[in-house]
Structure 1
Amino acid sequence: MRWTLKPKPDPETVIRLTKELGVGKPIASLLVQRGINTYEEARKFFRPSLEDLHDPFLMKDMEPAVMRILQAISNGENIMVYGDYDVDGTTSVALVSSYLKSFYPNVATYIPDRYDEGYGVSYKGIDFAADNDISLIIALDCGIKAIEKVAYASEKKIDFIICDHHRPGKQIPDAVAVLDPKREDCEYPYKELCGCGVGFKLLQALNEKRGEPFELLIPYLDLVATAIGADIVPITGENRILAYHGLNVINTAPRAGFQAILEQVKKQQLTITDVVFIIAPRINAAGRMKHGLHAVNLLTEQDEDRAGIFAAEIETYNQHRRETDKTITVEALAQIDELKEQERLTTVVYRDNWHKGVIGIVASRLTETYYRPTLVFTRSGDRLAASARSVKGFDVYDALESCSEYIEQFGGHKYAAGLTMLSEQYENFKRKFEEVVAASIDRNLLIPEIAIDAELDLKEITPKFYRILKQFAPFGPGNMSPVFMTRGLKDTGFAKCVGADASHLKCRLKQGTSPVSFDGIGFGIGEKCELLTDGAKVKAVYAIEENEFNGNISIQLKIKDINPD
């Protein structure tokens, strides 16, 4: 692991903020590192307010989008809400369709079949709309590159409103409205919304135009918070406000579908991390193993008994997904060893019978193991389909763009993308991808990095310090849970390996002659236990968390790495 200590923030700003807020220097330093330099900015950070959301009409094409929906309602037209099959897409469809259905009956939902239609807007979906006398499609979390599909719909007298957050290509589809803050000609102040976030801005504008109070939209924020967590967008600015209030909805008045999931896993008071690891995989499992509409049905169901039945079905899909991704990961790792792939700077593996629904998860697992830009391919009809994942600091989307001569279509983000290609191009692509990455990647990026916010003495970790630290949540990209380093640590004689395979480290650490000591748990670093023998001095990198045991709550260190001091 590569330890990187972040630069110390401006000392004068830290001292001023310490006085203005009445907090200790470590807290003030963390705030300044996050770009919070004034009392007012700190107030907005610690108390995210829905009043600070931007005016939705600042987004390019918002006015025509809203007017077209109102026209459709006035004319009694049939509207189809169309979205991708992942968490961002299915929550978006649940969000927009349930809001529209609350006052207008002629609303259908459509999620493309991952295996039959693939990602994004499909011709089959447009044909379904034409066959059912649908004249307006609202596409969510997809559509920014659907030039030909939108033109095809237009021939069938079907209008499109696109709500997307992926990077546009050189051309924008000729739709009634294209809402995407990443459009170069869009001056919307916040660029990092997820697809469900863009859908929410559409509802905010529509709700305002209808003369309804904003409070009507608050119950829908649980869906937005779930999409923000699952899509790994920055939890800054507007996303922080939406995630904060959405989590509050999940924890105080969860919709029937969320309640049914939580009852199955016996969990209360969710953090954004819980949303990512408990709710999101289950919603995703529907689209991966069966069909994304199962997730939409769960998220829009209001009857608790029926929601329980849907949640039980989805739990079955999730168990199947777990078993499948475990099997494929083992096969992929064996393929890497067999082909001596570990000598390359990229990981590209392929087997034609791998389950298309889990190759993204497998790509993430392989990236964790070998820490390189990774693609996992499988066969999808007469094409190959792949999921790409990257390492921190390397833009895999740009790398794929440099290989586009061999790719039929691709889309995604800096760290995650999907693509399809003709099978005969696989070897050419694999060679070119390795060349592109080898020529452009900083070799340091191939060593996992622990970014450290600050150096801390153990005696600075007080109940008050931790109480304020908790208020930095919700955590995620752009506002990660703070990571600290402490030198001169010794184990107090409790260090041992724990877990079924003894792969985890448990210890109790103290610093110098101070009486202060804390329990520490380090997952996956059991081999570091030997560093703590015979009173040896070490330095550790850790996050701070609460541990609940037998009804007692205590502060413990979640250790990320330990080295000799």
Structure 2
Amino acid sequence: MRWTLKPKPNPETASHLAEVLGVEKPIASLLAQRGISTFEEAKKFFRPSLKDLHDPFLMKDMDLAIDRLEKAISEGENIMVYGDYDVDGTTSVALVYSYLKSFYPNVASYIPDRYDEGYGVSYKGIDFASDNDITLIIALDCGIKAIEKVDYAKEKGVDFIICDHHRPGAEIPKAVAVLDPKREDCGYPYKELCGCGVGFKLLQAYAERKQEKFETLLPYLDLVATAIAADIVPITGENRILAYHGLRVINAAPRAGFKAILEQVKKQTITITDVVFIIAPRINAAGRMKHGLHAVNLLTEENEERAKIAASEIEVYNSDRRDADKAITLEALNQIEELNEQERLTTVVYQENWHKGVIGIVASRLTETYYRPTLVFTRSGEKLAASARSVKGFDVYDALEGCSEYIEQFGGHKYAAGLTLLEVQYENFKRKFEEVVASTIDKHLLTPEISIDAEIDLKEITPKFYRILQQFAPFGPGNMSPVFMAKGLRDTGYAKCVGADQTHLKCRFQQKNSKLSFGAIGFGLGEKCDQLSNGQPVRAAFAIEENEFNGNISLQLKLKDIEVE
């Protein structure tokens, strides 16, 4: 592991914040590191306000989108809400479909079949719209590269409003309106919305045009928060405001579908981490193993009994997904060893029978193992389809652009992308991808990084300190849960390996001459146990969390790594 200590903030700024906020210096320093320098900025950080959301009409084409939507509704047109089959796509469809359906009957939802139609806008979806007298499609979390498909739809008398957040290509589709804050000609102040976030801005604009109170949109923020968490977009600016209030909705008044999921896993108070690891995989499982419409149906179901039935079905899909994920990951790891490819700078594997619905998860698992840009391919009809994942600091989307001569179609983000190519080009692509990455990546990025916010003494970790830290949430990219470093730590004699396979480390640390001690747990750090057994001093990188044991709650260190000093 590569330890990186973030630069210390301006000491005057930290001192000022400590004084005006009445907080300890370590808290003030963490705030200053996050770009906060005044009382007002700190207030907005700790109490994100919906009043600070941007005017939706600042987004290019928003006025055109609302004009077309109003025309459709006033003239009784049939509208189709179309979205991708992942969490961002299905929550987006649930959001816009359920909002429109609350006052307008002529609305249908559509999720493409992952296996039959693939990612994004499909000709089959457009034909379905045309055959059913649908004249307006609202495409969510997809469409920014659907140049030919939008033209095809226009020939059939079907208009498009595109709400996307992926990077555009050289050409923008000739839709009625293309809402995408990443458009170069879009002056919208916040560029990091997810697809569901762009869909929400469409609803916000529509509600403003109709002079509806913003409060009518509040119940939909749980969907937006779920998409923000699952799509791993930065939790800064507008995303932070939307995630903060969306989590409050999930906890205070969850929709029937969320309530059913949470009852199954017996979870009450939900954090953004719970959304990522509990809610998101289950919503995703529908599109991975069966069909994304199952997720939309769960998210739009208002009857609690029917929601419970839908949630139990999705629980089965999630269990199947876990089994497939484990089996394919093992096969992929064996393939890498058999081909003797451990020394490459990239991982590219292919097996024609791998389940297309889980190759993205497998790519993430392989990235964790070998820590390098990774692609997992499987057969999809006449072509090969792949999911790409990257390491922190390296833009895999740009790398794929450098291999575009061998690719049929691709899209995505800096750290996650998807593509298709002809089987005959697989070996050419694999060679070229290795060349592109080898010539562009800084080699230090191939060692996992622990980014440390600050060095502290154990005596600074108090219940009050932890309570304030919790108010830094929701955590995510751009506002990660703080990681600390402490030096001069010794185990008090409790160090041992724990877990079914003895791969985890449990110990108790004291620092220097202090009698104060903290329990610590290090998942996957069992091999470090010997470093603590002879009482030698170590330094540790850790987060702080609560540990409940026999009804007693105490603070403990969640270890990221330890090193002998």
- Mean Cα deviation higher: 71-80 or 16-25: 16-25
Q: Following TM superposition, by how much is the alpha carbon of 1:18 offset from its aligned partner in structure 2, in angstroms?
A: 1.0
Q: Following TM superposition, by how much is the alpha carbon of 1:514 offset from its aligned partner in structure 2, in angstroms?
A: 1.2
Q: Following TM superposition, by how much is the alpha carbon of 1:210 offset from its aligned partner in structure 2, in angstroms?
A: 1.2
Q: 2: CA distance between counterparts of 1:441 and 1:160?
A: 39
Superposed CA offset, 1:122-155 (max 9, x none):
0000000000000000000000000000000000
1:268-417 matches, within 5 Å, as 268-417=268-417
**Matched position secondary structure for 2:534:** helix
Q: 2: CA distance between counterparts of 1:355 and 1:463?
A: 47
How many residues of Structure 1 are paired with residues of Structure 2 in the alignment?
565
Query: What is the match of residue 419 of structure 2?
Result: 419
Letter of the structure 2 residue corresponding to residue 460 of structure 1: E
Letter of the structure 2 residue corresponding to residue 19 of structure 1: E
- Mean Cα deviation higher: 530-539 or 157-166: 530-539
Query: What is the match of residue 151 of structure 1?
Result: 151
Q: Following TM superposition, by how much is the alpha carbon of 1:534 offset from its aligned partner in structure 2, in angstroms?
A: 2.3
Q: 2: CA distance between counterparts of 1:67 and 1:381?
A: 40
Q: 2: CA distance between counterparts of 1:245 and 1:553?
A: 27
Q: 2: CA distance between counterparts of 1:549 and 1:152?
A: 62
Letter of the structure 2 residue corresponding to residue 253 of structure 1: A
Q: 1: CA distance between counterparts of 2:59 and 2:124?
A: 30
Superposed CA offset, 1:459-508 (max 9, x none):
00011111100000000000000000000000111110000000000011
**Matched position secondary structure for 1:342:** coil
Q: 2: CA distance between counterparts of 1:398 and 1:551?
A: 51
Q: Following TM superposition, by how much is the alpha carbon of 1:370 offset from its aligned partner in structure 2, in angstroms?
A: 0.2
Q: 1: CA distance between counterparts of 2:510 and 2:61?
A: 59
Q: 1: CA distance between counterparts of 2:118 and 2:558?
A: 40
Q: Following TM superposition, by how much is the alpha carbon of 1:281 offset from its aligned partner in structure 2, in angstroms?
A: 0.2
Query: What is the match of residue 186 of structure 1?
Result: 186
**Matched position secondary structure for 1:219:** helix
Q: 2: CA distance between counterparts of 1:480 and 1:551?
A: 29
Q: Following TM superposition, by how much is the alpha carbon of 1:37 offset from its aligned partner in structure 2, in angstroms?
A: 1.1
Confirm whether residue 206 of structure 1 aligns to residue 201 of structure 2.
Answer: no
Letter of the structure 2 residue corresponding to residue 443 of structure 1: K
Q: 2: CA distance between counterparts of 1:186 and 1:546?
A: 44
Superposed CA offset, 1:137-174 (max 9, x none):
00000000000000000001111000000000000000
TM-score by length of 2: 1.00
Q: Following TM superposition, by how much is the alpha carbon of 1:456 offset from its aligned partner in structure 2, in angstroms?
A: 0.4
Percent of paired sites with the same residue: 81
**Matched position secondary structure for 1:321:** helix
Superposed CA offset, 1:420-453 (max 9, x none):
0000000000000000000011110000000000
Q: 1: CA distance between counterparts of 2:68 and 2:165?
A: 21
Q: 1: CA distance between counterparts of 2:495 and 2:110?
A: 54
Superposed CA offset, 1:351-381 (max 9, x none):
0000000000000000000000000000000
Q: 2: CA distance between counterparts of 1:468 and 1:516?
A: 21
Q: 1: CA distance between counterparts of 2:534 and 2:146?
A: 64
- Mean Cα deviation higher: 65-74 or 544-553: 544-553
Confirm whether residue 225 of structure 1 aligns to residue 214 of structure 2.
Answer: no
TM-score by length of 1: 1.00
Letter of the structure 2 residue corresponding to residue 562 of structure 1: I
Query: What is the match of residue 127 of structure 1?
Result: 127
Q: 2: CA distance between counterparts of 1:405 and 1:119?
A: 20
Letter of the structure 1 residue corresponding to residue 480 of structure 2: M
Q: Following TM superposition, by how much is the alpha carbon of 1:548 offset from its aligned partner in structure 2, in angstroms?
A: 1.5
**Matched position secondary structure for 1:387:** strand
Q: Following TM superposition, by how much is the alpha carbon of 1:67 offset from its aligned partner in structure 2, in angstroms?
A: 1.1
**Matched position secondary structure for 1:174:** coil
Query: What is the match of residue 545 of structure 1?
Result: 545
Letter of the structure 2 residue corresponding to residue 497 of structure 1: C
Letter of the structure 1 residue corresponding to residue 493 of structure 2: G
Q: 1: CA distance between counterparts of 2:456 and 2:102?
A: 52
Q: 2: CA distance between counterparts of 1:544 and 1:343?
A: 36
Q: Following TM superposition, by how much is the alpha carbon of 1:236 offset from its aligned partner in structure 2, in angstroms?
A: 0.3
Letter of the structure 1 residue corresponding to residue 484 of structure 2: F
- Mean Cα deviation higher: 423-432 or 7-16: 7-16
Q: 2: CA distance between counterparts of 1:216 and 1:238?
A: 19
Q: 1: CA distance between counterparts of 2:233 and 2:553?
A: 31
Query: What is the match of residue 88 of structure 2?
Result: 88
Confirm whether residue 234 of structure 1 aligns to residue 234 of structure 2.
Answer: yes
Q: 2: CA distance between counterparts of 1:49 and 1:517?
A: 39
Query: What is the match of residue 171 of structure 2?
Result: 171
Q: Following TM superposition, by how much is the alpha carbon of 1:550 offset from its aligned partner in structure 2, in angstroms?
A: 2.1
Confirm whether residue 559 of structure 1 aligns to residue 559 of structure 2.
Answer: yes
Q: Following TM superposition, by how much is the alpha carbon of 1:516 offset from its aligned partner in structure 2, in angstroms?
A: 1.4
Q: Following TM superposition, by how much is the alpha carbon of 1:457 offset from its aligned partner in structure 2, in angstroms?
A: 0.2
**Matched position secondary structure for 1:393:** coil
RMSD of aligned residue pairs (Cα, Å): 0.5
Query: What is the match of residue 471 of structure 1?
Result: 471
Query: What is the match of residue 509 of structure 2?
Result: 509
1:5-24 matches, within 5 Å, as 5-24=5-24
Query: What is the match of residue 61 of structure 2?
Result: 61
Q: Following TM superposition, by how much is the alpha carbon of 1:515 offset from its aligned partner in structure 2, in angstroms?
A: 1.9
Q: Following TM superposition, by how much is the alpha carbon of 1:58 offset from its aligned partner in structure 2, in angstroms?
A: 0.4
Query: What is the match of residue 104 of structure 2?
Result: 104
Q: 1: CA distance between counterparts of 2:209 and 2:37?
A: 36
Q: 2: CA distance between counterparts of 1:331 and 1:8?
A: 45
Structure 2: which 5+ runs fail to align?
A: none
Q: Following TM superposition, by how much is the alpha carbon of 1:53 offset from its aligned partner in structure 2, in angstroms?
A: 0.4
Q: 1: CA distance between counterparts of 2:551 and 2:209?
A: 51
Superposed CA offset, 1:292-348 (max 9, x none):
000000000000000000000000000000000100000000000000111100000
Letter of the structure 1 residue corresponding to residue 479 of structure 2: N
Structure 1 runs of 4+ off > 6 angstroms?
A: none
Query: What is the match of residue 442 of structure 2?
Result: 442
Query: What is the match of residue 39 of structure 2?
Result: 39
Q: Following TM superposition, by how much is the alpha carbon of 1:48 offset from its aligned partner in structure 2, in angstroms?
A: 0.3
